[in-house]
């Protein structure tokens, strides 16, 4: 059995502690916050190393499917709860953090977390991701700061659809209106002006997807 680095041991101990105390493994963000690892990619690097060394396993790179195979001292775990199979009525959705230009594929590959929701809540289509909303530009559409939107990944949209679009280096949530000379990204906040992108500056890849659902945590 390959030896663990101090950081790998700390990651494994925190996962074991979380499963023991809560009954389920921590998210990538929780691991990073606990151990001072700034990026989810950094956390994933440690998890991949632990997988290679035979200390844990997981399904589809998802933190909530982590299952320990060995204790930090290298001894085997004889009894561990099996990972529940995916229900035909549920779909796993990656929850992304900040999405910058050109980084959607990487963000989906290394999500901050995943959630499972009923397929009927997001309609048809499987290629869906979640994104946390920052700001109040869509409050009159019922989308508030801190909400999560579920987004069907696609490169086109109908006039008036609420989309996630790239403007400069950042993703933004707005209504999509193609006009004669420009694309108008309209906020749903009467105090804010629309974003106007000249047609000759617009690229088809700037639409990341169409919003198909909203989730708000009631604390």
List the catalytic residues.
137, 174
The DSSP letter of residue 100 is B
Rounded to 5 degrees, what are φ and ψ at 28? -60, -40
Q: Exposure string (b/e) for 61-99, b if CB count within 10 Å is 16 or more?
A: bbbbbbbbebebeeeeeeeeeeeeeeeeeebbbbbbeeb
What is the residue whose two structure tokens read 């589809």? Answer: 60
**Pseudo-torsion of CA 114, 116, 121, 124, nearest 10°?**
80
Q: Quick one: which of 23, 41, 20, 22 has its CA closest to 32? A: 41
Sign of CA dihedral 86, 117, 32, 15: negative
Kind of pairing, strands 128-132 and 90-96?
A: parallel
- What residues contact residue 160 under an 8 Å CB cut-off, 6+ apart? 175, 176, 177
């Amino acid at each position: 059995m390959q030896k663990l680095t101090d950081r790998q041991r700390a990651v494994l101990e925190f996962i074991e502690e979380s499963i023991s105390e809560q009954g389920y493994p921590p998210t990538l963000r929780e691991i990073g916050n606990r151990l001072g690892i700034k990026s989810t990619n950094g956390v994933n690097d440690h998890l991949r190393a632990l997988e290679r060394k035979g200390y844990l396993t997981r399904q589809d790179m998802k933190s909530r499917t982590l299952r320990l195979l060995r204790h930090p001292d290298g001894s085997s775990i004889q009894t561990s709860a099996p990972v529940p199979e995916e229900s035909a009525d549920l779909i796993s959705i990656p929850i992304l953090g900040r999405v910058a230009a050109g980084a959607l594929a990487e963000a989906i590959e290394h999500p901050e977390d995943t959630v499972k929701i009923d397929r009927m809540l997001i309609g048809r289509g499987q290629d869906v991701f979640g994104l946390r909303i920052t700001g109040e530009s869509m409050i009159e559409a019922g989308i508030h700061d801190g909400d999560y939107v579920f987004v069907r990944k696609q490169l086109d949209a109908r006039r008036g659809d609420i989309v996630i679009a790239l403007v400069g280096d950042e993703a933004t949530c707005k209504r999509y209106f193609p006009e004669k000379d420009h694309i108008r990204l309209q906020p749903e906040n009467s105090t804010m002006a629309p974003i106007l992108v000249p047609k000759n500056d617009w690229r088809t890849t700037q639409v990341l997807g169409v919003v198909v659902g909203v989730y708000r945590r009631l604390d």
